[in-house]
Chains A and B, each alone.
Chain A
């Protein structure tokens, strides 16, 4: 609990409170399911926090070792590598995929005939999940003799070993991630849908061009949604696991080049039976994400516009 409380994440309200009368009772009533749900959530949370300070091999009872896990992390080169992979992945892929999602959503929001099909097509890569069939598909696309390299060869370019060369594997995952921009796109679509058309009509009457309309209407009114996608993508991206797991067959290879922080955590916890260390890693990531999110919320005061 203490860690959670110390996390200075700001709540959405920035408006002066005195405008409102207190609504404690109805507030708690609305939150009732969530309070009950927190019982489920909070027990495992506390358990893992405790385990972070123990030596726990999953099979014998955990032994309290204080800060040893955290000390070990400081000297762990693989951990540093995994942090680097995760940060590079996040810094590159989050802005790119959000920009792609917003751009495509702007085009697809219009009421043109046949657009539902296009929307589905753009969403398709994100619908696939990571079933066995999809894993094989990636192999087919990105293999040394894969579709992409055949296409490149046709253009006279010798394609690289996309997934097996340590200098390219992470790039491949970033491309894949940007390609699956469907989820933020859907959220943007829903957000655009909520902007009252009257605003645009008024602006058109005033002679505002498309760029003006985008700058002065779409961006500010969409800012809560952009903010949501940004916060959410950052949290999700720093916790990336499946992409690395699937592409490398669970190893983070080639040569640790796709060893995401969470993948390394998984390997420590479940392959090397070191769940105490994995829990410590989890809580360090938790604090990192919490701080980053808090900074996001603070910065939001300058660019996110709410109506309340």
Chain B
């Protein structure tokens, strides 16, 4: 399980292309310059790509949490006309292969004048277009005792107050899961940014990583590994920080 990380770390300190000729995990010689050189090798310092990715990730998490939890509460707890149909529609949006949507989506965003901005990457997240997270939260919210809502209603709480005061705090594990998954998927997303961002100043980490090497060139493999390792750190850090919301807490404190 640890092998990939160790391998990446070891590859990132092997000089030049020796990563392919020294197969062992322990580097025969150490070369930390991959990090300093890789940081400045591209058009902009790597910190810019990290910052860009971070902005997109943080906003996407906020957007997904807000919009998907609202929709999920609606689907899980409220009874309104057309709910079954809308729920089916929502699930349906997960089922069509994305490749056939690329061109029409591009046309839509081009018409909106959003090319070469972050809007195509962000706005959909604020509009609950990610059915996966809605469905996830629906399942979690339906597992919560329905008496909670009834009690809240008797106390005179409207649906919004019930959602905000009761369901949301209890759905913390689902929120943490959504946040972690959003972080990982947005942080690693490649094709969306590739299509919609033209200016290298706006590039995200995955775009930058794919500028280091190509099969036709004499590429800087060591630098690519070093920056790949750097870009993995935030994801692992976020998971370690977020995972405690998955396991510890009120509900299980009594468990041995």
Contacts and interface: CB of A to CB of B under 8 A. Distances in A.
Interface of A: 4-5, 7-13, 17, 20-24, 26-28, 30-34, 36-38, 40-41, 43-45, 47-48, 51, 58, 108-111, 115-117, 119-134, 137, 140-141, 147, 183, 186-187, 189-198, 200-201, 221, 224-225, 227-228, 231-232, 235, 239, 241, 262, 265-266, 269-270, 275, 278-279, 281-283, 285-286, 289-290, 293, 306-308
Given A127-B235, A187-B177, A307 B145 contact: yes
Nearest to A48: B100
23 contacts: A11-B87, A22-B81, A30-B70, A33-B128, A34-B70, A37-B67, A37-B127, A40-B124, A44-B108, A119-B243, A124-B5, A124-B236, A132-B212, A132-B224, A147-B23, A186-B177, A190-B173, A193-B248, A193-B251, A194-B143, A221-B143, A224-B139, A306-B142
Interface stretch (B46-54, B180-188, B192-200): B180-188
A47 B101 CA distance: 8
A269 B104 CA distance: 13
Interface of B: 1-5, 7-8, 11, 23, 66-67, 70-71, 73-81, 83-97, 99-101, 103-105, 107-108, 123-124, 126-129, 132, 134-136, 138-140, 142-146, 158-160, 163, 170, 173-174, 176-177, 180-181, 184, 187-188, 206, 209-210, 212-213, 224-225, 228, 231-232, 235-236, 239-240, 243-244, 246-249, 251-256
Nearest to A115: B247
Nearest to A279: B100
Given A266-B99, A307-B142, A23 B75 contact: no
B255 to A, nearest CB: 5
Contacts of A44: 101, 104-105, 108
Tell me the dominant secondary structure on chain B's binding face. Answer: helix
B143 A190 contact: no
B92 A9 contact: yes
Contact of A200 (B80, B159, B255): B255
A227 to B, nearest CB: 7
Given A194-B144, A228-B135, 8 more contacts: A12-B75, A34-B90, A40-B124, A133-B8, A186-B177, A193-B173, A197-B251, A307-B144
A293 B92 CA distance: 10
A193 B252 contact: yes
Contacts, number: 302
Contacts of A225: 139-140, 143
Contacts of A290: 92, 95
A34 B139 CA distance: 17
Among the interface residues A4, A11, A47, A262, which one has the most CB atoms of the partner chain B within 10 A? A11
A30 B74 contact: yes
Contacts of B138: 12
Given A22-B79, A111-B247, A129-B188, A120 B239 contact: yes
Contacts of B128: 33-34, 37
B83 A11 contact: yes
B110 to A, nearest CB: 13
